[in-house]
Amino acid sequence: LTKIKFYNTASRQLEDFKPITKGKVGLYSCGPTVYDEAHIGNLRAYICNDILYRFLKAIGYDVRWVMNITDIDDKMIKRAKEEKTTIGQVAQKYEKKFLDDLRSINIGIDETKIVRATDHFKEMKELTDKLVQKGYAYKADDGIYFSVAKFKDYGKFAGIEIDTAKSRERVKNDTYDKSSPQDFALWKNDSDFADGRPGWHIECSAMSTEYLGQPFDIHTGGVDLIFPHHQNEIAQSEAATGKKLANYWLHNEHLLVDGAKMSKSLRNFYTLRDVLKKKYSATALRFELLQAHYRSKLDFGWEAMTGAETVVRDLRRFWAKSALVKKSKTLSLEDSYQTFVVALADDLNMPTALAVVFGVVNNTDNEGPVGRDFLRRVDEILGLDITNDTPPGVQALLEAMDLARSDKNFIESDRLRLKIEKLGYQVENSPVGSYAIAETQNSKVR
């Protein structure tokens, strides 16, 4: 297996990746709270996770990928009240939208284990009770809280200093239920639920270890989750068992709009539907969101989307044109493929990996079976859906068109070209024959 290095947030450095069980990887990604539509900044995180998942699989790991859906928390309750409906209906509506979005941008959701918070109250309550028994949590009027002062390493993961002296002072003087400002709810009393309901952080602690064990290999999320969410997950899980929660923590950077973080609160966000309405394809969006290094901030703009659309078309052109070339001039692209893999093994260095791909498709000597084999292999990881062959019906029209042209029957060849274009293909001619490229805008549009 290829030697991999990841930047581990826990140590703030690049580390050699060693799975707990040889050849296997347990991967947990914090999923969405389904109270609203995801914006494309959120989608960037899931694309980063998907690239990691596909990469590990492509190089031979047996990967178990688990992603949670937060279908109960304060935001869900607020939204249900706003929409004058039930929490369950809010969850159903936005979870469906979320999963549709993931499928549109070609995230291997069917292979992923999607787990829902409302299906795991029992495990969450058990973990909460254990923390009470061990003295890390205490009961208050409105629920059960985790006492951050009791967990020795609290703040270490996030690089945040906790002023315990100040916290203790609060215990004495504060009339509120929380004994320090950093204490957080594990369990909330809520008259709508017979036995109360979980706090947000305990959901991920319970579900990740339920499916992956403790410790497990890789935990991912956006950088905004480092504190308090991931710090709190670590505090809960490690206090309860004395074992590490996860060995590697990978965090992706934000998507920016005009230099500011894309977010619901700033109202500067776009959804996948906004992108499709502007006639850009979901595939081009996937390319745009995956082409930067996951630890770099990425500026989103429509000009960049036009560029992404062109790249996807260029890759499809290489694929379609290569089908007409019987034998590639290049004998092998194995070295190029290995260079591509080595770049990704270096903390998923996508810009370097993509430079290899562009180098290959920009050289006409690579057209033909050797080039197609290379593209098929890299697209297993990129997931750009660029290796679709022209459907037989369209292929037959292309051949009829070329025949009409060689007979100098240009009226007929123009009629056939128009017919192919109406089917959503762009027709191009080359010395080896005509080929059709699927119009990216029409691909995967829902």
Residue nearer to Zn ion on the CB measure, 150 or 230: 230
SS3 403: helix
Least distance CB 363 / Zn ion (angstroms)? 44
Q: How far is the CB of 30 from Zn ion (least distance, A)?
A: 3
Residue 331 CB neighbours (<10 A): 9
Closer to Zn ion by CB, 114 or 432: give it. Answer: 114
> Angle CA(242)–CA(245)–CA(250) in degrees, nearest 5?
150
Least separation in angstroms between CB 321 and Zn ion: 45
**Which residues bind to Zn ion, rule: CB under 5 A?**
30, 204
Antiparallel, parallel or unpaired: β 184-188 and 197-198:
antiparallel
Pick 73 or 385: Cβ nearer Zn ion: 73
According to DSSP, the residues that pair with 426 across neighbouring strands are: 437
Q: How far is the CB of 116 from Zn ion (least distance, A)?
A: 13
Work out whether the CA dihedral 298, 303, 307, 309 comes out positive or negative: positive
For residue 168, the one-letter residue type is R
Would you say 204 or 350 has its CB closer to Zn ion? Answer: 204
CB of 289 to Zn ion, least distance (A): 21
The sheet carrying 255-257 orders its strands as 260-261, 255-257, 298-299
Residue 337 is which amino acid? Y
Q: Between 204 and 333, name the residue whose CB sits nearer to Zn ion.
A: 204
Amino acid code (one letter) for 131: L
- The distance of closest approach from Cβ of residue 135 to Zn ion in the complex, given in angstroms and rounded to an integer, is 25
SS3 for 243?
coil
Number of Cβ within 10 Å of residue 371's Cβ equals 25
Assigned token pair, 129: 């009770």
Taking the least distance from each CB to Zn ion, the nearer of 27 and 420 is: 27
Task: Assign 3-state DSSP to the chain and report helix, strand, coil percentages, each to 5.
Answer: 50, 15, 35
Closer Cβ to Zn ion, 73 or 367, answer by number: 73
* Minimum distance, C-beta of residue 219 to Zn ion, in the bound complex (Å): 8
Task: Kindly state the smallest distance separating residue 246's Cβ from Zn ion, in Å.
Answer: 11
Closest CB to Zn ion among residues 48, 284? 48
d(Cα 240, Cα 242) in Å, to the nearest integer? 6
| Residue 30 vs 437, nearer CB to Zn ion | 30
Dihedral sign computed on CA atoms, order 261, 267, 271, 274: negative
Closest contact distance (angstroms) between CB of 236 and Zn ion is 11
Residues across the chain: 446
d(CA 244, CA 208): 12
| Cβ contact 268:39 at 8 Å | no
For 104-162, give the DSSP string. Answer: HTT--GGGSEEEEGGG-HHHHHHHHHHHHHTTSEEEETTEEEE-GGGSTTTTTTTT---
Taking the least distance from each CB to Zn ion, the nearer of 30 and 312 is: 30
Chain-centroid distance, C-alpha 443: 20
Please report how close the Cβ of residue 229 comes to Zn ion at its closest, in angstroms. 6
Say how far apart CA 257 and CA 237 lie, in whole Å: 36
Question: Whose Cβ is closer to Zn ion: residue 29's or residue 106's?
Answer: 29
- Structure tokens that stand for 413 in this block: 């060849």
Least distance to Zn ion from the beta carbon of 234, Å? 11
